[in-house]
Structure formats: structure tokens, C-alpha cells
Structure 1
Amino acid sequence: MKDAFGAPQSLLILGGTSEIGLATARRLIARRTRTVWLAGRPSPALAAAADSLRALGADVHTVPFDALDTDSHEERLGKIFTEGDIDLVLLAFGVLGDQVRDESDPLSAVRVAQTNYTGAVSAGLVCAQALQAQGHGSLVVLSSVAGERPRRANFIYGSSKAGLDAFAQGLGDAMHGTGVHVMVVRPGFVRTRMTAGLAEAPLATTPEAVATAIELGLRRRSETVWVPGALRVVMSALRHVPRPLFRRLPV
């Protein structure tokens, strides 16, 4: 259960090596979160992530999880909830893909879509149902501004995030009144390993800044969070740009 100050005491990160997920974990551990579950593919990186959080004083567990192995989600994620209540689930996994390659290799494009959308739908529903069964908790879904209006340069990734965003918004409506809070986070360009080597977009941000916004959104019980906040206005304008003009924009 959350403590008297409303801070989550237990956290499950789907995508246990996510830089945004780990930045959020560090911030919440400093605020009283004591139990952390890192769900991801077994690897030295996952083990190192767990050790780094243990060094901060948290009780950290790892669990095998693969977004593409949807047949295992109910069993593996369900077992976590049998160990005790989870106050916060952070759905933080995803892949960027390579637009040029993926356009000419449909199987690679499908892998992006299955990871970012199908896998997230499966894991999101499993966790939402478990949160509803325990009667409380928050599900935070990392979406992207790329899903607001997919661009020619990354429409495969953008369309997968558009699907995820729509799913999460609808799930939030479905969970309304059940005690489960669903929050969609829409970051812009985040400086992480995934974006290393790419040209930075305007209003680029960091995993730490996204983590700060997540914590604030949880305190406010927000349903949608933009990081940075100025992107709300920017994307509102871009949504209404006529298509012939949009195609010419350097975005």
C-alpha cells in the first residue's frame, strides 16, 4: 500500500533495464519505495540494474519477462502479485527500430509493432486486472509524442506508439472508479541508449526529467503527462497542420 504521504512502497517495472524506468525507480526509492520488481530478459544488464537499486536500500527482485512472449505474461506477471500488493506498475519497454531497414523488411517492422503494441496490450491488461483485484494501484504507460502524428521519418515506430496510446487511454476509462489509476506519459526525444547517434529533436529531455514528471503526475493523479510540458502546445498545433504542408515540415 502507499504510505501516509501517498508514495508507492512497491514498484514493478516492465522493461527492467529501461533508463527511464530505472531513473523513476531511483527517484521513488529516495521517497520511500522499498520493494522493486524488475521484469525483463535475463542478462548482465538486468542483474546490474538490480544491484544498482539494491545499493540504494531497496529490496529488488528480477523476473524473466519478454514482451514478445505473450503466452507467458499472465503466469509470470501474475506470480509477482501473489507475493504482495504492487502500488505502481511502470510499462517502460519498447524498441525504436530502424525505419529505413524496417520499410524493406516487413518482419522487422512487425517486431517493432508486436513489441510496442501487442506486447504492451497483453502485459497492460494482465497488470490492470491484477491491480483491480487488489483494489488499488497505478499503471503508468510510457507512450511518445511520436504517436500523436506519425512522421514520414518514423511512421512504423510512431504508429505503434499511437496504438499503445489509444489503448492506454481507453484502459484508463475502463478502470475509472475501480481504484486503479492509469497515467499515459508522452515524452519527446529522450537522451538514452536507444536514441544514441540520432539527431536531437527540439525540446529534447533526459530520463531523469521524465522520472520527475512521472512522480509529479502520480501525486496529482494525472491521466496524461507531456515531457517537457511545452510539447502539449506544440503537438496540438502540429495535429492541425494540413497534410500537404505537414509533409514538408522538418519534423
Structure 2
Amino acid sequence: MVDPTTGPLLVLGGRSEIGLATAVRLAAGRPVVLAVRPGPADDAVRACRDAGATSVSVVDFDADDVATHPDLVDRVTAEHGPIGTAILAFGILGDQRRAEHDPTEVVRILTTDFVAQASLLTILADRFRAHGGGTMVAFSSVAGVRVRRANYVYGSAKAGLDGFASGLADALHGSPVRLVVARPGFVIGRMTEGMEPAVFSRTADQVADAVADAVRSGHHGELWVPWQLRVMFSIAPFVPRALWRRLPR
């Protein structure tokens, strides 16, 4: 049986703010593998070492190249042992205005934010079942709970991911494999720089605190960050469409 709190930690999107912040909170006493696009990752490596990781490795990772996903997961397992926790922390906002006229931008957003995520969750769940356990973290978003006109391409990708991950969590119920489906609201950071923070906004560190606590406690299923968003979005289906379409992203 794989211990998700001590087995190798794989961070897919190892330079992302939320991914790295979560890794730092879970790194102590275990090997960490940062899967990143080609480029310098020295700061991320240093942060994980300073957090107590027994080793830190960097592997090249192109999320959109789904054909490479099985080999990546199998290579990490072969070199470091069965993965204890996998954090899927990659994603893009994309350009909504461009996407409304350019189908290639639509495909780019949907591929990274939904298709690639579903691919990796499927592969990881299969490997974790075979190894007797493990924990996955998928980052959904309140943007996918009810899609808004202002960011409907990104929102629809997150809606697809949320539905897929929620269904997978149900399929894993009763098994030693856990899936945390994190649903943060607006996250203040590089990805949202220049945007007006929404109500109940959180920083990457605050989201990472909640996710790390969920992993350590053995949480399985949805995780609203912060919890107040669950209450807020419970009424979202009842907001008239004429009003909903005017809401900002």
C-alpha cells in the first residue's frame, strides 16, 4: 500500500504558484518530482529542498502532448517508486476575446484545461489502483460551476474537468485511491495579474494550505476554497440568466 503522505510527490506544473506552494507544504521527508515545460526551475527546486524534500527532480512536461502522458507517469514511477501524491497544477486562462472568433484558441484552452487533465487523471487513477493507493489533486474552479458569459471558454473547460473529476471520485469511492477536487474562487497571483479580485478571493498560499490539509487528512471529493463559496454557488442556478450574463469573470 502506498502512503500518500510519504510516497513520491509528483507536481504536474511544478512552476505554477499554487502547485509549488502546495508542494512546499507536502515535501518534507519525501522525494519530489517537478514536471515542467523546458526552462529554468532552480527557484522551484530550491523551495522544495528548503521544505525538507529528500530529493528534487525535474522532468520535461508538455501537458498538451497527451500521447506522452503514460510514459511520463511510468518513468517517474520507475525512477522514484510508486507515486504517493500527484498534483495537477497546470492550466491557462487563455484569451476569451480571441477565442470568440478563433477556434484554435478555443481548442488550446480546452486541451490544456480539460483534455490533458482528464488524460492524466485516468492514467494516474489506473496506476494508483495497481499500486494499492495514492492521492490525486485536480484544480477545478467555481468558474465551472455555472459558466459566465465573460469567460465562457475557460469556464466550460473547468466545467468539463469538474464533471469528469467528480465522476472519477465517485468511481474511486471505496478504493484506497483518493481524489481531491479543489474548487477555488478567484486566486490572486500571476495568472490573474491586473484583474479586479472577486469576493472571497484567496492567494495561492491560502489555497495551498487548504489543499495540503485535505491531502494529509485523507479527504476525498470536492473541496471549496474558501468554504463560503459553496453557500454562494448553491444559489447560482436560480439567478436569472439576464442577470447572470452580466456578471464579470
- Normalised-by-shorter TM-score class: over 0.9
TM-superposition CA deviations, 1:159-208 (whole Å, max 9, x none):
00000011111111222223101110000010111111111111110111
Find the counterpart in structure 1 of residue 30 from structure 2.
Answer: 34
Superposed displacement of residue 250, structure 1: 5.1
Q: Unmatched 5+ residue regions in structure 1?
A: none
Given that 1:90 and 1:140 are in contact with CA atoms closer than 8 Å, whether structure 2 keeps it comes out as yes
CA distance in 1, matches of 2:19, 2:170: 24
**SS where residue 183 of structure 2 aligns?**
strand
TM-superposition CA deviations, 1:121-172 (whole Å, max 9, x none):
1111111111111011111101111000111110000000000011111111
Q: Considering Cα pairs closer than 8 Å and 6+ residues apart, tell me whether 1 or 2 has the greater RCO.
A: 2
CA distance in 2, matches of 1:136, 1:157: 31
CA distance in 1, matches of 2:7, 2:78: 16
User: Is residue 63 from structure 1 mapped to residue 59 from structure 2 by the alignment?
Assistant: yes
**SS where residue 187 of structure 2 aligns?**
coil
Find the counterpart in structure 1 of residue 167 from structure 2.
Answer: 170
Mean alpha-carbon deviation: is it higher for 241-250 or for 10-19?
241-250
User: Is residue 212 from structure 1 mapped to residue 209 from structure 2 by the alignment?
Assistant: yes
2:245 is matched with which residue: 241, 244, 247?
247
TM-superposition CA deviations, 1:14-54 (whole Å, max 9, x none):
1111111111111123xx3421111121211x343123212
TM-superposition CA deviations, 1:57-116 (whole Å, max 9, x none):
311111111111011111112111123021111111100011112212210121000001
Q: Unmatched 5+ residue regions in structure 2?
A: none
- TM-score (norm: length of structure 1): 0.92
Given that 1:148 and 1:239 are in contact with CA atoms closer than 8 Å, whether structure 2 keeps it comes out as no
Superposed displacement of residue 212, structure 1: 1.1
Q: RMSD between aligned alpha carbons?
A: 1.6
**Aligned residue pairs: how many?**
245
**SS where residue 208 of structure 2 aligns?**
helix
1:90 is matched with which residue: 54, 72, 87?
87
Aligned 1:72-87 pairs, distance under 5 A: 72-83=68-79, 84-87=81-84
Find the counterpart in structure 2 of residue 51 from structure 1.
Answer: 46
Given that 2:9 and 2:32 are in contact with CA atoms closer than 8 Å, whether structure 1 keeps it comes out as yes
Aligned 1:54-203 pairs, distance under 5 A: 54-58=49-53, 59-83=55-79, 84-203=81-200
CA distance in 2, matches of 1:98, 1:184: 25
CA separation of 1:33 and 1:156: change in aligned 2, threshold 3 A: farther
Aligned 1:219-238 pairs, distance under 5 A: 219-238=217-236
Find the counterpart in structure 1 of residue 17 from structure 2.
Answer: 19
- The residue type paired with residue 54 of structure 1 is R
Given that 1:11 and 1:33 are in contact with CA atoms closer than 8 Å, whether structure 2 keeps it comes out as no
